[in-house]
Amino acid sequence: MNALARAPELPWIWMAVAAYAVTAGVAVAGVARGQQREKVVLGMLLTALVLVSVGIAARWARTGHGPFLNMFEILLSNLFSLGVVYAFAYWRLPVLRPTSVVVLPVILLLGLWLLVLRPAGGPLPPTYDTPWLWAHVAMGKVFLGTCLLAVGLAGVMWLRRTRLSAWFRDMPPDVSLDALAWRIMTLALVFESLMLIAGAVWAQGAWGRYWAWDPLETWAFVTWLALAAALHLRLSYPISPRLGALMILGVFVLAFLTFFGVPFVSMAPHKGMI
């Protein structure tokens, strides 16, 4: 009860995670039965997004700053941004809809992880008072969201090798999914590059250096390089869609570790720099 009084955003966040769980359930059941109930899924997804938004707003009002600071806030904001990117793609790109079987459980996992973290807050360092923070964070979020779309396709290409292959009968063949996934990865590269640029401008303003190979910068760069290498691998070798799908997963794992692993180890997003 005490925790609730101190963190009034919690009930909204719990409801949002529950809504994501229901959405994922409905989506998986729909794809399994061959009738996707797309409107219901999209409606549920929007409901989850509204609930997360209210949770973020409540927390914002309480702490006086946006969700930029610690692991709890980073997960919370990703619950929002990944949901927004996926909802948009789900609406605009019907071919992607069966990927909900892969994508929604991933978002749900983040939500479950959020539930076990303490909703502690802290003061926002003065270096966060800049529009570059917004540019950097927004680009990073779109990057991860875009990457997750490709992961959805990669997951489908792998699930097709299992007993679940019938679920994806109506989707285009792997070669088409592969081409689409890599187009999306090129777009992810655009946003990741923008994230790095905005981050460097911010770092110059905040700490008087634009690049210093701190853990987060290093891992973000390695992710960028891995994505570039994957694109060039496809140019120089005949990579099968399934191998390509593995490379997409690999890039996503690196991005995931950068976003949720490094801050986890080092507490503040840029360790020791605040």
Partner 1 sequence: MLRLLSSVRLTLVGMALLCAGVLLSYNRPAAPLWWLVAPLGLLAVNLLAAIAVNPGINRQGGLLVFHLALLGIVVLAAVGRLVHLDGVVEVTEDSAFLPGDVQVLAKGPLHPMGFSKVFFVQGPFTVDYGPELSRSTTRSQVLAPDGAGRLVPMVVGDDHPLILHGYRFYTSSNKGFAPLLTWIPEHGKPVTGAIHMPSYPLFDWKQDNRWTPPGGAEIRFWLRLKTPLRADAAWTMDRKDSSGVLIVSSGGRRIELKPGQTARLEGGSLRFDELRTWMGYKIFYDPTLPWLFVVAVAGVGGLAWHFWRRLGSSGPERTGRAAGFSAGHGALHT
Residue nearer to ligand HEM on the CB measure, 186 or 204: 186
In angstroms, give the least distance from the CB of 140 to ligand HEM: 16
Binding mask 127-166 for partner 1 (x = CB under 8 A): x-xx------------------------------------
Residue nearer to ligand HEM on the CB measure, 15 or 226: 226
Instruction: Please report whether residue 265 would count as binding partner 1 according to CB under 8 A.
Output: no
Q: Which of 178, 247, 251, 270 binds partner 1 (CB under 8 A)?
A: 178
Task: Report the amino acid identity of residue 202.
Answer: W
Residue nearer to partner 1 on the CB measure, 161 or 183: 183
Whole-angstrom Cα distance, residue 265 to residue 244?
30
In angstroms, give the least distance from the CB of 183 to ligand HEM: 8
Can you give 167-204 as a three-state secondary structure string? HHCCCCCHHHHHHHHHHHHHHHHHHHHHHHHHHHHHHH
* 37 phi-psi bin (left φ>0, alpha ψ -120 to 50, beta other): left
Which DSSP category does 260 fall into? Answer: I
- Which H or E element spans position 252? helix 241-256
In angstroms, give the least distance from the CB of 83 to partner 1: 21
Residue nearer to partner 1 on the CB measure, 144 or 198: 198
Name the residues that contact ligand HEM, by CB under 6 A.
186, 189, 228, 231-232, 235
What lies within 8 Å, CB to CB, of 222 at 6+ separation is 254, 258
Residue nearer to ligand HEM on the CB measure, 90 or 252: 252
Q: Which of 15, 110, 126 is nearest to 72 (CA)?
A: 110
Instruction: Please return the burial class of 151, using the count of CB atoms within 10 Å of its CB with bins 0-12, 13-18 and 19+.
Output: buried
Which residues in this chain contact partner 1 in the complex, by CB under 8 A? 92-96, 123, 125-127, 129-130, 172, 175-180, 183, 186-187, 189-190, 193-194, 197, 200-201, 204-206, 208-210, 213, 215, 218, 221-222, 225-226, 228-229, 232-236, 238
